[in-house]
Structure formats: C-alpha cells, structure tokens
Amino acid sequence: MMKLEDINNLPIYQKAIAFGSILVVLLAIFFYTTYLPKKSEITKLEGDVSKIQNEINVNMTKARRLEELKRENEELERELALKKQQLPSEAEVESLLKEVSELGLRVGLDFKLWRPENKKINPSNLYIEIPVNVEISGDYHLVAGFFDRVGKLPRIVNIENINMSGPKLVKDRLLLQIRFVATAFASYDAPKVEPAAADAKAAKAAENKAAGGSKKKKKKK
C-alpha cells in the first residue's frame, strides 16, 4: 500500500498521474452515487411539474369555457322563455282562437265557418297542433289586413291551405270567399316515465320476448 511519504518522493509527473487517478475515481464515485440518482429524480420532478402545469392549463381552459357555457345557457333560457310565451298552454288556446275570430270581425269580415278539428301532438313531442277550418267573406283589403294582424299576434297562429273562390259583387263591393286552416300551437309536456315503471316495462318486454322465443322452439320440435 502506497503511503503519503512515497507519493511525496515520486517525480512530479507521477504525482500528477496519481492525483489525476484519485480525482477520476472520486468523480466516478460522485457520478454513480450522487449525480445519476439525482439526475433521475430531477427528470421525474420535471415531468411531474410539466404534467401539473398541463392540468392547470386544461382546468383554466375549462374554467373559461364554463363561463362561456353559462352565458350560452342563460341566453338559451331567455330564448326558451320567449318561445314559451308564443306557445300558450292548451287551456289558453281557446281564448287565443277566440281572439283571432274577434280580430276578423273587428276588421269587417263575415265568418261563414269556424270548425275546430281534432288536435294532434307534433312528432317532436314539443307542442300540440290545434287546427280550425275557417271560411270568411270580405273584400281583398279586409282579408289582407286580417292576415297581417294575425301574423303580428304575440302567440303563433299559422294560416295555411288558403283556397280562394270566385269573387262576387255585393252592393258595389267585390267580396272574396276564402277557406283556410288556422292552426294554433299549445305547449306540451310529455308524460314522464318513472325509473321503476320504465324498468318494469323493460322487464316485461324482455319476458314477453323470451316467452315468444320458447314457443318458437317448441313448434320447431
């Protein structure tokens, strides 16, 4: 084993080599025992920091989007409230249709027919259509004024299937005979199916299907 006195007696170049070797060994020990483990830990921490930062950015984006969605939802709720004002309840439709007929009488039209038809639920399940077959008599200007006023009502009343017959001259007035369908719309709330009832219905349907399958197998035998 080399002692310190032996190193001191070595030539300078050998001393340099000896110290260089010791330094290399120390650096190697530091590299493998300290630097590499710390480097691995630092890399892991950098990855964790990057992941957390990404999550923060995503959450900030979601937060901004949430405020935007809240504003959009508020706008949709306002639009829905306006639409509901245009769609009265079924109980209010009768008074609405009465308002339409009174409007025609006020402008000077003569009502020949006012026959309500069967109401029907729109396939969308959002509203009910309540049609009325109407026949009126009046000159062109009165009829045009009536249709214009109906179109300006706050509640929706659709005029369709307009059929105009030949004009007649009555007391110096050219009267038109017009048939059309006036359709009013009422709001409709589809009946809600309770979860238990829905499950029972589904179970019954599955049971019927299974029973049907069993009967088919017996017939094949």
Question: pLDDT tens, 110-123?
Answer: 899 999 889 888 88
Do 96 and 170 fall into the same domain?
yes
Q: Is residue 157 part of a domain?
A: yes
Q: How far apart are CA 115 and CA 106, in angstroms?
A: 20
Q: Is residue 9 part of a domain?
A: no
Count of the separate structural domains present in the chain: 2
* The pLDDT of residue 138 is above 60: yes
Q: What is the mean pLDDT of residues 149-172?
A: 83
Do 177 and 106 fall into the same domain?
yes
Residue 163 forms beta bridges with which residues?
179
Q: Is residue 112 part of a domain?
A: yes
* Highest-pLDDT range among 27-36, 64-73, 192-201: 64-73
Domain extent at residue 154: 90-187
Asked whether the beta carbons of 120 and 143 are under 8 A apart, the reply is no
Residue 19's pLDDT is 64
Q: How far is CA 151 from CA 100, 132, 164, 171, 216, in A?
A: 10, 16, 19, 30, 59
Do 167 and 120 fall into the same domain?
yes
Q: Is residue 219 part of a domain?
A: no
Residue 127's pLDDT is 83
Q: What is the mean pLDDT of residues 58-73?
A: 80
pTM of the predicted protein model: 0.50
Asked whether the beta carbons of 180 and 159 are under 8 A apart, the reply is yes
Q: How far apart are CA 202 and CA 84, in angstroms?
A: 33
Do 96 and 171 fall into the same domain?
yes
Do 64 and 48 fall into the same domain?
yes
